[in-house]
Amino acid sequence: MSPILSVRDLSVTFDVRKQGAWPWTPAQKLHAVSQMSFDLNAGECLGVVGESGSGKSTLARAIVGTVPSSNGSILFEGADLANMDTRERRVHRRDVQMIFQDPLAALNPRMTVGDIIAEPLVTHEPSTPRKEVKMRVATLMERVGLLPNLINRYPHEFSGGQCQRIGIARALILRPKLIICDEPVSALDVSVQAQVVNLLMELQRDMGLSMIFIAHDLSVVKHISDRIVVMYLGRQMETATADTLTTAPEHPYTQALISSVPIPDPALEKARVRPILEGELPSPLAPPSGCVFRTRCPKVQASCAGDRPQMIDLGGDHHVACPYHAPEHVLASNSA
Amino acid sequence: MIPNPQNVQGIVDAMALSEVKGRSLWADARTRFLRNKAATVSLVLLIFVAAFALFGSLIAQWERDFVDFTLIGSNAYKGVPSLETGHYFGTDNNGRDLYARVVQGTGISLMVGMVGAMVAVVVGTLYGATAGYFGGRLDGIMMRIVDVLMSIPFMFVLILMLVIFGRSITMLFIGIGLISWLDMARIARGQTLTIKNKEFVEVAVATGVHPIKIILRHIVPNLLGIVIVYATLLVPNMIIFESFISFLGLGVQEPNTSLGALINEGAGSMQYGTLWQIGFPLFFFVVTIFAFFFVGDGLRDALDPKDR
């Protein structure tokens, strides 16, 4: 099966200007996403995890096309979204929709819910008769668990969970092929989180959607995803199926992430030993040489500062980018 | 998930029966505005002033340009305001009915204010929103144009224009239209910069909405609160501005008049005891300006309940 989306060597850099610098002073480059490569199969859900500032949202925005990518390609059904002109790109936007983190901020406060949900439809199929638009909005509202008679209400009259449902309805009205969820539940109550995640899973199954699900909460991602990508400072650290990643993580960073998920049992929680990561995320303006994680890695060695670690195939769709797992290292430790 | 047409028809029917009307932010603002007593009273006063300017001439007993030669020279005791003679507000120095002239002056002053505010709202908002939304080089060029226009001493230019092209009310409107939108463009741009980074704009971009539609559908409605407030505060400024020009004798020309011109005439004859000649125009002038300021304040409180 050929993947619906394949991202190759995708990099996103931002120009950062010093405050008060001359206009002609060259800007510093901020590498928000650096050489990401992954595939997404049709109907699959890919989780993306990483701590704040690891470039998850930038990755999502680059795929959706609200942030320009500086390098690499985004192949969606064979068409390269990253290197298209604006007009052509606008036509392709109907197949990729996005769900945002802050449900209320993502809704225009001056528009009614009906208008908000209908906007993608009216944009891409302007000839749709009004009655049909309303009908499709109403069915969809019903589908995502909103009463259709609230169609004339305004966003501020809804709760966070309801607002997120409106956002989901808007993303689905064009029956897109790919949905990108950027931390869709992290702004919601835990009880509401479960409802929204279950709704998303249900919709994904029923409509055969492909999904990229971004979150920093590994337990939610594990629940919804088939495969998980771990990001750190804009780099891909490890990619594996959800089960493999959570039970047998290979990268020290993934191990640390997993150990940080609390266990809902005080006795177990107290008993377990976990590697605590020291320090802060380094600045993406001046990332460390070699492996970017080496400044905080519990298993750091001299060789980590050398070349950038390549993705190593461990078999079974499990890839890891860690010099610790490099074949030379394996050889070196064997000979010692 | 293809909807079954029959079910859908049922849903639509049910909706028609029970559709809940939403309370828009505008409706909320209206309630808050009406709760503000000073603003509501001012709004009523403004409506009265506007009605006076529009329909006041219907009850005038005299034409506004009819000169009663018998009164010239004896204004101070014959031209006093009285109901019997039909000169409700008395007469001016030339023996013309002051009531009819105040009606016209109020109308012209209001019109000047409204035209200035309208130009500011339409041109300024769109200009500022466009500059702010697209950003980058376009923003730089557009805003530098505004800076250049602002740095021209416009009062001097306007006086020159009035002198060169003749003193006419059209020229005055053109002059006011040229300068009134500059501040508005800056305000709209600044506000756009914050709105364009909101997620709902990003959603629209991601969906593929055309940039012009994004500006009109997502940016401008969210700007409008601040724009309306500024526009109501701009109207009195425009009226004062026009009055100043007229006071200098460069604005509206005889036989037409504006409140500024009337006040000018009244001020000239104050020492002869004809105080009504300055009193009545001044009254309408002050009431209009105060009312606009109070309404503007009320609107600001109603539209931005958070930053009071």
Q: Do B200 and A107 touch (CB under 8 A)?
A: yes
Asked if B113 and B260 touch (Cβ cutoff 8 Å), the reply is no
pLDDT of B11: 60
* B63 in contact with chain A, both atoms CB, cutoff 8 A: no
Strand A235-241 and strand A319-320: the pairing is: antiparallel
Q: Is the ipTM of this complex over 0.90?
A: no
Q: Give a yes or no: residue A133 inside a domain.
A: yes
**Cα–Cα distance measured from residue B138 to residue B130, given in angstroms and rounded to the nearest whole number:** 9
For the segment A16-20, the average pLDDT, to the nearest whole number, is 80
Asked if omega into A148 is within 30° of 0 (cis), the reply is no
- Rounded to a whole number of angstroms, the distance from the CA of B18 to the nearest CA of chain A is 6
Give the CA angle between residues A325, A327, A332 to the nearest 5°. Answer: 95
**Residue of B199, B28, B140, B296 lying closest to A183 (CA atoms):** B199
Residue B221 at interface with chain A, using a CB cutoff of 8 Å: yes
Among A156, A47, A146, A67, smallest CA distance to A108 is for A156
- Kindly write down the DSSP assignment for every residue of A82-122, as one continuous string: TT--HHHHHHHGGGEEEE-SSTTTTS-TTS-HHHHHHHHHH
pTM of the model: 0.79
Within-domain flag for A241:
yes
In this structure, the dihedral spanned by the alpha carbons of residues B161, B164, B166 and B171, taken in order and rounded to 10 degrees, is -20
Residue A332 predicted with pLDDT over 60: no
Is a pLDDT exceeding 80 seen at residue A316? no
Which residues face A213 on adjacent strands?
A47, A181
CA distances from A193 to A106, A183, A211, A219 (A): 17, 11, 17, 12
pLDDT at B16 over 80: no
Confidence of residue A136 (pLDDT cuts 50, 70, 90): very high
User: Residue A316 — left, alpha, or beta (φ > 0 → left; ψ -120 to 50 → alpha)?
Assistant: left
> Highest mean pLDDT range out of A287-291, B180-184, B248-252?
B180-184
Taking the CA atoms of A166, A172, A174 and A180 in sequence, report the sign of the dihedral they define.
Answer: positive
Cα–Cα nearest to A101, from B115, B199, B155, B95: B199
**Which residues, including other chains, have CB under 8 Å from residue A213's CB and lie 6 or more apart?**
A45, A46, A47, A48, A181, A184, A200, A221, A224, A225
Instruction: Please give the pLDDT value at position A228.
Output: 92
Topology of the domain comprising B25-52+108-254+280-303: MetI-like fold (1.10.3720)
| Interface probe, candidates A59, A64, A91, A108, chain B, greatest B C-beta count within 10 A | A108
Classify residue A284: in a domain, yes or no.
Answer: no
Range name among A236-250, A267-281, B72-86 with the lowest pLDDT average: B72-86
**What integer pLDDT is reported at residue B29 of this predicted model?**
83
User: How many CA within 13 A on the CB side of residue A110?
Assistant: 16
Residue A170 forms part of a structural domain: yes
Query: For residue B141, what are its two tokens?
Result: 């060029």
Q: Which of residues 111-150 of A touch B (CB under 8 A)?
A: 111-113, 119-120, 123-124, 131, 134-136, 138-139, 142-143, 148-150
Query: What's the CATH number where A52 sits?
Result: 3.40.50.300
> Which residues, in sequence order, are bridge partners of residue A40?
A5
Please state the φ and ψ torsions of residue A91, each to the nearest 5 degrees: -65, -40
Instruction: Please say if the pLDDT value at position B134 is more than 80.
Output: yes
Angle, to 10 degrees, between the axis of helix A160-172 and the axis of helix A130-143?
130
Q: Provide the pLDDT confidence category of residue B258 given band limits of 50, 70 and 90.
A: confident
Contacts B203 to A, Cβ<8 Å: 98, 100, 106, 167, 170
B18 CB neighbours in chain A (<8 A) are 149
Give me chain A's average pLDDT, please: 85
Residue A28 contacts residue A194 (beta carbons within 8 Å): no
Lowest mean pLDDT among A15-24, A63-72, B29-38: A15-24
- A33 found inside a domain: yes
What letter does residue A237 receive in the DSSP assignment? Answer: E
Q: Print the domain residue range for A42.
A: 5-13+29-250
- Evaluate whether A267 touches A288 at the Cβ level (below 8 Å): no
Q: Domain total for chain A?
A: 1
Supply A199's token pair: 């709704």
Does the pLDDT value for residue A159 go beyond 80?
yes
Locus of tokens 């609107």: B299
Q: Which residue has the higher pLDDT, B293 or B94?
A: B293
Tokens of A72: 């690499």
Confidence at residue A1, expressed as pLDDT on a 0 to 100 scale? 60
Model confidence at B73, pLDDT cuts 50, 70, 90, reads low
Query: Which of A93, A109, A175 lies closest to B207 in CB terms?
Result: A93
A154 with B24: Cβ contact below 8 A: yes
Determine contact: A184 vs chain B, CB below 8 A.
no
Would you place residue A329 in the very low, low, confident or very high pLDDT band (cuts 50, 70, 90)? low
Are the Cβ atoms of B206 and A106 closer than 8 angstroms?
no
* Contact between A178 and A96 (Cβ < 8 Å): yes
Which among A37, A34, A58, A35 has a CA at the least distance from the CA of A46?
Answer: A37
Burial class (CB in 10 A: 0-12, 13-18, 19+), B286: exposed
pLDDT tens digits, residue range A52-91?
A: 888 888 999 999 888 888 888 888 888 888 888 888 888 8
The answer to whether residue A319 is domain-embedded is no
Q: Closest to B209 (Cβ–Cβ): which among A123, A149, A154?
A: A123
A135 contacts in chain B (CB < 8 Å): 3, 8, 11-12
Rounded to 10°, the helix B220-247/B125-134 angle is: 130
Put simply, the answer to whether A152 touches B19 (Cβ < 8 Å) is: yes
3-class secondary structure, B242: helix
Taking residues A131-146, what's their average pLDDT? 91
Residue of B nearest to A147 (CA): B15
pLDDT confidence of residue B274? 77
